[in-house]
Every structure is written in structure tokens, then in C-alpha cells.
Amino acid sequence: MGYNLILLGPPGAGKGTQAKLLIERYCIPQISTGDILRAAVKDQTQSGARAKEFMDRGALVPDDLVIEIIKDRLSLADTAAGFILDGFPRTVAQADALAVMLKSNGKSIDHVISMTVDNEELVKRVIGRLTCRGCGKGYHQIFDPPAVKGVCSACGAELYQRDDDKEETMRSRLLTYESQTAPLIKYYSSLGLLRPVDGLGSIQEINDTLAKVLEG
């Protein structure tokens, strides 16, 4: 089995946090549609302008836009030995499009790691999150603080609070997840690719569990 991975889970489940650890362990890139979209918003590109209104209200950005982003990203050479899709696919249409694009390159998904955490814990995690402007690494004011306040321990850049990490927007994101993304659990389960992982526990414990699942 290879390392063509999907991290599936609600907002705050720990997809980004675990992806950063998997990069180090397996030397494969993290592909986060959320990070790519936030960079596009910041750079004021056309797709960034289009995406922003959806992101600000906790809705999904249209499928065609994210599918295009992923198609471009997966065509880069650094994905040859594997990749971690973080936050993509998020709809059945995206999952179908992914299968088609991988097949045309003679590839397929090896594991879909499905992380579950209850909603109240998710809200606590997201409300207290700090994100690095440089490398996108996430921290938490209480659960995972940086060594130096306001500064990324990995790259030294400034930490900020994401625009959509307000309680109200987070509640919309959870509803969006339930209605549009949760159906992917069944979708990948029926393909025999689903690897359910309890997302509660320490960051290190969960990382160890992931390694067992991937190397098992």
C-alpha cells in the first residue's frame, strides 16, 4: 500500500495538525484546499475573490473551483511518492472528480483517514486556534501553545486568528460538514478505504495511531 492519503473530518478535527506531522514522518506533501484558498484570498486573485464570500459564511466553495486547484496541485512532481489531501474532497462530486483524475494518471487513493471528535470539543478547538501566516501550522491557545507567544515555533512567522474561526461561523461550518461532507464516510467505507480514527486524545497519541493504521 502506498501513501496516497485523504484526511477526512469536521472542522477542528485535527486534519492540519496531523498532516504537518505526517509530512515529517513520510516526506510527502500536505495539500490543503483551505490553505490554498486562504493564500488566494490574501493575494487577491480572481479565484480568491470568488472563494471569500463562501468561506466567510462557513459554506463550501463551488466544486469546479476546488477541483481545478487539486488538478493543478496533483500534477506537480512532488506528489509522485504520495500526498496528504487535507480538506479535499468535501462533496461526493469532488470525490468522483478525484477518482477520475487519479485514474488518468494510473493512481488511486490508498487510505481515507476519518477523524471523529464531538461538536463541543470541535468548537473549543477552533475558537482557540492560532494559525501561522508563514507555513499554515496550527496552534491552540491552551491545548497546543507555541513556545513564544504569537510566534510560530516551526518557521518564526506571526500567528493570527482565521476569519472563519468565530463561534457563529464555526457552527455553520459544522452544519455544512454534516450535510455535504459526512456522506463521504459511507462513500469511502463502501470502497473499503475508510480507516476510522478517534480524534480525541493527545496530538502525539493520535499521530501514533495514524502511523499504526498506515503501516499496519
User: Considering beta carbons, is residue 146 or 196 the nearer one to Zn ion?
Assistant: 146
Which residues between 95 and 154 bind ligand AP5 (CB under 6 A)? Answer: 125-126, 128-129, 138-140, 143-144
DSSP state of 138: E
Helices (H), the chain: 15-26, 33-42, 46-56, 63-74, 92-104, 119-127, 167-176, 183-190, 203-215
Selection from Zn ion, ligand AP5, Mg ion, none that 111 binds (CB < 5 to 8 A by kind) is none
Contact between 74 and 82 (Cβ < 8 Å): no
Asked if 55 interacts with ligand AP5 (CB under 6 A), we say yes
Neighbours of 141 (CB within 10 A): 14
Q: Is 15 a catalytic residue?
A: yes
Question: Catalytic residue among 20, 38, 73, 90, which?
Answer: 90
At 111, phi and psi to the nearest 5?
-145, 140
Cα 19 to Cα 86: distance, rounded to the nearest angstrom:
7
Q: Minimal distance in Å, beta carbon 82 to ligand AP5?
A: 19
User: Considering beta carbons, is residue 16 or 82 the nearer one to Mg ion?
Assistant: 16
Cα 6 to Cα 33: distance, rounded to the nearest angstrom:
12
Q: Minimal distance in Å, beta carbon 212 to ligand AP5?
A: 16
Of 8-16, 78-86, 155-163, 184-192, the window that binds Zn ion (rule: CB under 5 A) is 155-163
Binding mask 78-117 for Zn ion (x = CB under 5 A): ----------------------------------------
Cα-Cα-Cα-Cα torsion 145, 209, 205, 141, nearest 10 degrees, comes to 20
Residues designated as active site: 15, 90, 129, 162, 173
Binding site for Mg ion (CB under 5 A): 16
